[in-house]
């Protein structure tokens, strides 16, 4: 069929945030709400023809993003830096464009990226809290020792074959991952795990956190954890952490298209302020 779409005159990069609980992941799916579909629907209404939006990485159902990056090609008089405002005037609740910028046609949100960073947040206090529940795994059944988790994480930094933390269904040809940083820390009742890598395997972070929580609660030893991933024992990794505790917080590029203020992590670290002595 003859393509009547006009030749694009610009490539626009987007810095996108979304609440994963309202979407069946990033990627377009038939009869399901996705972030990609919402963006493409709005852009098509503005442009008058279909436009494909490409992301740096596909997040699963329920996973949040504070710093997803995407791009699209379009023929439009709207300057690239204005697209954030234009899109936010039309996008539904739960998704927001933090910034937009012009990029060259050889720049690609996925293939130009050199790292991705995810954060997983655990809430360990016994009392539930409505205001943090959408963004955490409320894990209070047993105490969590974040120092054990950090000790387990440390040897993961480097290039490793991590097929033990890869869900079935991935089309990726291999399971090699270059991990640049892996950290665990506690802020009161909140324990966060952050991993930065060149790329992530399908389901990797949630499978990794599921096993690290076993280490932190002394249900599995650090040595056992290392033995499992080094020997690629996928059958021993049985539990994935809930999606809602996971957030894509940033994508790195050799020459970032967005200003530093927009790129800063917009996913806050949770902490409780003490109640005042008197009102």
Instruction: For residue 44, give the nearest of 91, 97, 10, 82 by alpha carbon.
Output: 91
User: Residues near 9 by Cβ (< 8 Å), separated by ≥ 6?
Assistant: 74, 75, 76
Q: Give CA angle at 53 (240, 250), nearest 5°.
A: 50
Active site (annotated) includes residue 60: yes
Asked if residue 103 lies in contact with residue 257, where contact means CB atoms within 8 angstroms, the answer is: yes
Distances (CA, A) of 18 to 21, 86, 139, 252: 9, 17, 24, 18
| Tokens standing for residue 256 | 């970032």
Q: What is the b/e burial string over 194-218, where b = at least 16 CB atoms within 10 angstroms of the residue's CB? A: bbbbebbbbbbbbbbbbbbbbbbbe
Cα–Cα distance for residue pair 171/8, rounded to 1 Å: 30
Give phi and psi for 38, each to the nearest 5.
-65, -45
60, 106, 148, 224: the catalytic one is: 60
Rg of the chain in Å (alpha carbons): 20
CA atoms 48, 43, 89, 243: torsion sign? positive
| Angle subtended by helix axes 222-230 and 204-216, to nearest 10 | 150
Q: Which amino acids are annotated catalytic?
A: 60
């Amino acid at each position: 069929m003859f393509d009547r779409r006009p030749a694009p005159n610009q490539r626009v990069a987007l810095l996108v945030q979304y609440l994963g609980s309202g979407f069946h992941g990033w990627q377009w799916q038939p009869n399901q709400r996705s972030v990609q579909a919402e963006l493409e629907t709005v852009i098509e209404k503005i442009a008058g023809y279909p436009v494909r939006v490409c992301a740096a990485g596909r997040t699963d159902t329920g996973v949040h993003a504070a710093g997803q990056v995407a791009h699209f090609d379009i023929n439009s008089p709207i300057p690239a830096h204005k697209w954030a405002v234009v899109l936010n005037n039309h996008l539904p609740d739960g998704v927001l464009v933090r910034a937009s910028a012009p990029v060259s046609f050889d720049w690609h949100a996925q293939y130009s990226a050199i790292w991705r960073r995810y954060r997983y947040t655990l809430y360990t206090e016994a009392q539930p809290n409505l205001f943090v529940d959408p963004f955490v795994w409320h894990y209070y059944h047993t105490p969590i020792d974040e120092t054990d988790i950090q000790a387990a994480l440390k040897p993961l930094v480097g290039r490793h074959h991590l097929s033990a933390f890869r869900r079935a269904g991935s089309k990726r040809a291999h399971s090699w991952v270059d991990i640049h940083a892996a950290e665990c820390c506690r802020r009161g009742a909140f324990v966060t795990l952050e991993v930065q890598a060149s790329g992530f395997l399908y389901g990797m972070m949630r499978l990794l956190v599921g096993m690290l929580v076993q280490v932190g609660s002394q249900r599995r030893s650090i040595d056992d954890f290392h033995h499992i991933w080094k020997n690629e024992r996928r059958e021993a990794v049985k539990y994935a952490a809930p999606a809602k505790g996971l957030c894509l917080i940033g994508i790195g590029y050799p020459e970032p298209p967005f200003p530093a203020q927009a790129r800063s992590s917009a996913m806050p670290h949770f902490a409780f302020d003490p109640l005042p002595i008197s009102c």
